[in-house]
Chains A and B, each alone.
Chain A
């Protein structure tokens, strides 16, 4: 396996080959109950506490379709500019693997609910933004599978495990699969196009409110198909890389697969049609099962479920519920806010667009909203490797903090401590402020007392200041800030202590 992932540099690969991409994205819908039964869908519940005879595949149990899941799928399809089937069936996909207790997964086969759409995505290049249209082949409904834990063996991986343990809480959660048509012509931008597509898809689903689309919790998962061909030649054999679990990894997976396949082809080899597994830690993939023997699922129309035939009235009604398309919204906000492309892109890249917009709507000054979300809060989210909106800080929190800053009861430094408290789960702004006793010390007598103590402790500094080295006052200010646990206004301390010493700036 040591030669399994030899590569040549990306630029050299792209100089010879054109990449063709295909992306299959699975999204868990945010319904209250599962696809075919009323079991709850809460993430992180204790193992096997959200299961029933239907999702355990017990004999005699019968599935019934969740209306909200159909509705969400149609809305997603409409937002992706798809046609909506007038009549379609579910299909049974047969396979033996313990992640599904029924030994089949109910999915859709040749009759997807939504088909033939597109999604426009924008990629930043050195020559400015460039737009690509990613065509959508289909959006179909299916159910998620259970979660396996492999036990024994050295690695916790499936190979070499002694046995596996299964939690079926996730089995039967509504899942939609969104499949693109082949994306060709992106050239060296292919990795960025892949990432931009998944990002756009995520934003779209978030705007639709059909899923919380958290890659880190697995509610959005992506399989990346890549093939290479020399210009003008027929498309090559594709590989499918699974386990791509972050937006960054989507880009990295395409990038490294182009480098790997180019190495194979340039050394006279042939690309094998196979499933590969991406590893976050190394940014590389390893070979999984080869496709040839795997794909015989004997799909047939699901006999336990009747067809879905959405009326045109229903479809049009749902079309009326679509929110503003994220790309349209971006253009609108960019114009409304009148900020530079760079500043705007910083907000978008931080995933802070909605948060900034909502903060402004909550009364926060635009610059302040941008400052908090793309500065301090983005830094904390990056440190914790979570999404910005998973921090637990809301636009309402920002509005409250800004109000306290405006009336002088908080300083910037204290505001940071308030965020820290909110993120640590200590409650809302006022709860953290009172819980931690965060108050700006503005009472002059208290400050003067602290200043006198600091002056008395550092006579050498006092001497310097009085000798004309006003910049030495910083040491005294620092001591006072420390004594007041950061709750004083540093500028004010400085003014007061200079007054005390009878020195002017």
Chain B
């Protein structure tokens, strides 16, 4: 029924920042196909009057009051950061020069 293409797997891998070899693309295309087919089977059973479920628990309006409290100590955050400079997270170059 559904059949995911190699191009789609490549696209998804790029969006997820995954580098896949040709063999891996074939491998995951097969696995993803099984998942899609399983989901398709559920869709067959569900009637048109049943909306897709996003939240299994029938609950709405879970709010908290707008009250502020202090956050974490900065030295604790710095200790967990992969790289830290000038009180900020240091991240690699974002865009290559055009």
Q: Residues of A at under 8 Å CB distance from B?
A: 31-33, 38-41, 46-53, 55-56, 58, 64-70, 87, 89, 94, 96-98, 101, 148-150, 158-168, 296, 298, 300-301, 303, 305-310
Contact = CB atoms under 8 A, between A and B. Distances in A.
A105 to B, nearest CB: 15
B93 A163 contact: yes
B27 interface: no
B71 A162 contact: no
Contacts of B64: 38, 64-67
B88 A166 contact: yes
20 contacts: A38-B67, A41-B68, A48-B88, A49-B74, A52-B71, A52-B72, A53-B72, A66-B63, A66-B66, A67-B66, A70-B63, A89-B54, A97-B94, A150-B94, A165-B88, A165-B91, A167-B87, A298-B15, A303-B54, A305-B62
B19 interface: no
Residue among A40, A52, A158, A164 with max Cβ neighbours from chain B (10 Å): A164
A308 B80 CA distance: 34
A376 to B, nearest CB: 38
Contacts of B70: 40
Contacts of B65: 67-68
B89 interface: yes
B92 interface: yes
Given A48-B74, A161-B94, 12 more contacts: A33-B69, A52-B71, A65-B63, A67-B65, A149-B88, A150-B94, A159-B97, A164-B90, A166-B88, A298-B15, A305-B62, A306-B60
B91 A166 contact: yes
Interface string B36-59: 000000000000000000110101
B90 A68 contact: no
Contacts of A149: 88
Contacts of B63: 64-67, 70
Interface in B12-45: 15, 17
Instruction: Say whether chain B's binding surface is mostly helix, strand, loop, or mixed.
Output: loop
Residue among A64, A96, A300, A307 with max Cβ neighbours from chain B (10 Å): A307
Given A64-B62, A65-B63, A69-B66, A49 B71 contact: yes
Contact of B88 (A162, A167, A296, A300): A167
Interface of B: 11, 15, 17, 54-55, 57, 59-72, 74, 77, 80, 85-95, 97-98
Contact of A65 (B62, B80, B92): B62
Contacts of A94: 15
Given A64-B62, A68-B66, A307-B60, A296 B93 contact: no
Please provide the 4 A-B residue pairs with the shortest distance between their CB atoms, ordered closest to farther. A68-B66, A301-B54, A165-B88, A67-B63
A164 B86 CA distance: 11
A163 B92 contact: yes
Given A51-B77, A67-B65, A162-B93, A309 B71 contact: no
Contacts of A166: 88-91
A296 B87 contact: no
Nearest to B98: A159
B67 A33 contact: yes
Contacts of A51: 71-72, 77
Nearest to B70: A40
Given A67-B63, A306-B55, A306-B59, A32 B90 contact: no
A158 B95 contact: yes
Contacts of B60: 87, 306-309
